[in-house]
Structure 1
Amino acid sequence: MVGSPPFENPFRGDDVEQRVYGTVLQTREPETVASIADRSECDPKTARKYLKWFADLGIVTWHDGHPATYERNDSYFEWRRINRLAADHSVEELQERVTELTAMVADYEARYDAATPAEVDAITVAATSDERTLDDVYEDLGDWMTIETERRRYERARRQRVSAERERVSG
């Protein structure tokens, strides 16, 4: 019976490039080639080859040192996400989503009488509320931060799409 690969190594059945890429996606701190190769179950020379290529593409950031390290380039993935949103949605769809997300942010701002989640003292709010537990407040604050991040992405994608359409019309 064929099942899903274990969570510890979800890329085991993939080719080496995919395993190195998958390992990079899971990294949160700079790692050595040896560490990435070990986690990717490949030879360090092979991992180095793919990591250099990923660095050239901007997928990873290379840090010179002894030993050199690589880490996932979150900016690349953010850029890719925004480009995908701009490509997959019309200006109107993007604007509609920005409007929806803005309304959700406004609801949180009103609920917590704060402009950002960072301004909310979760412990005090939970202690003075008959309805909200500390877990409820933390969940709201996490959702609020996620919504703000998504709103920024959709707004950037909307501006990118507007700019591309203006360029196409005037070009």
Structure 2
Amino acid sequence: MSDFDPTPPAEAVDEVRHRWHESTDTFGRVYDTILGITDPTPYSEIAEIADCSPNAAKKHLERLAEMGIVHADRESRPARYERNDGYLEWQEASRLAQELSLEEIIERVRQLEDRQDEFEERFETTDPASVSVFDQDDHDLIHERMDAISEWESIDRDIRLYDLARQLAQNDGHLLPA
């Protein structure tokens, strides 16, 4: 049996980057790049990843900031950018509102809230962040608790998403009634 190396060969990475560069315009490459950026990053670094000039990256990042897709910190030198997670959440909620009926969304929220109640009873709190996972002596119990807290946090996020989807579905794609 051969050893598994999770790092692909440099030639494969180069081939994927070449196809991406050939098939995606500069705006698309900057957009794809910023979706993977979770910390404020100088536009010059984003340009390097997106394989474009710093000026082109900054121009497209400013456009994405105007659209609400990107947070821009123009006070820092050089200017730094990161994705706007709120935009991604809205985009996902919008997709759910289009794909599911209002009844399906409401039922999913009910199921998620039932599961959330189970966690709140189990840990005797309404905040998963207040639960210590390391107050156990057994490694398996620590791991089990970490998994439970992670699932609980995912449920909290999903409830927010489905509730937003419900608002969009009830208001013809708008957050507030017209």
* TM-score > 0.5 by shorter chain: yes
Counting only pairs closer than 5 Å after superposition, residues 104-123 of structure 1 correspond to structure 2 as: 104-123=115-134
RMSD between aligned residues: 2.8
Note the alpha carbon deviations across 1:94-121, whole angstroms, 9 max, x for none: 0010011111111212222222212322
Runs of 4+ in structure 1 over 3 Å off: 8-12
Unaligned runs of 5+ in 1: none
TM-score by length of 1: 0.80
CA contact (8 A) 1:11 1:19 kept: no
Could you tell me which residue of structure 1 aligns to residue 106 of structure 2? 95
Conservation of the 8 A alpha-carbon contact between 2:90 and 2:164: no
Per the alignment, residue 90 of structure 2 pairs with 79
Cα deviation 1:26-81 (Å, max 9, x = unaligned): 11121222111111121112212221221221111222233222221111111211
Task: Report the identity percentage.
Answer: 30
Partner-residue secondary structure (3-state), 2:117: helix
Secondary structure at the counterpart of residue 146 of structure 2: helix
SS state of the match for residue 61, structure 1? strand
Does the residue aligned with 2:19 lie in a helix, a strand or coil?
coil
Cα distance in structure 1, aligned partners of 2:147 and 2:16: 28
144 and 13 in structure 1: CA distance in 2 versus 1, 3 angstrom threshold: same
2:163 maps to 1:149: no
Q: Which residue of 2 aligns with 1:13?
A: 19
Between the aligned partners of 1:161 and 1:146, the Cα distance in structure 2 is 22
For residues 76 and 85 of structure 1, the distance between their equivalents in structure 2, rounded to whole angstroms, comes to 14
1:137 to 106, 130, 145: 145
Equivalent residue for 2:42? 32
Q: Which residue of the partner structure matches residue 163 of structure 1? A: 171
2:57 corresponding residue in structure 1: 47
CA contact (8 A) 1:20 1:40 kept: yes
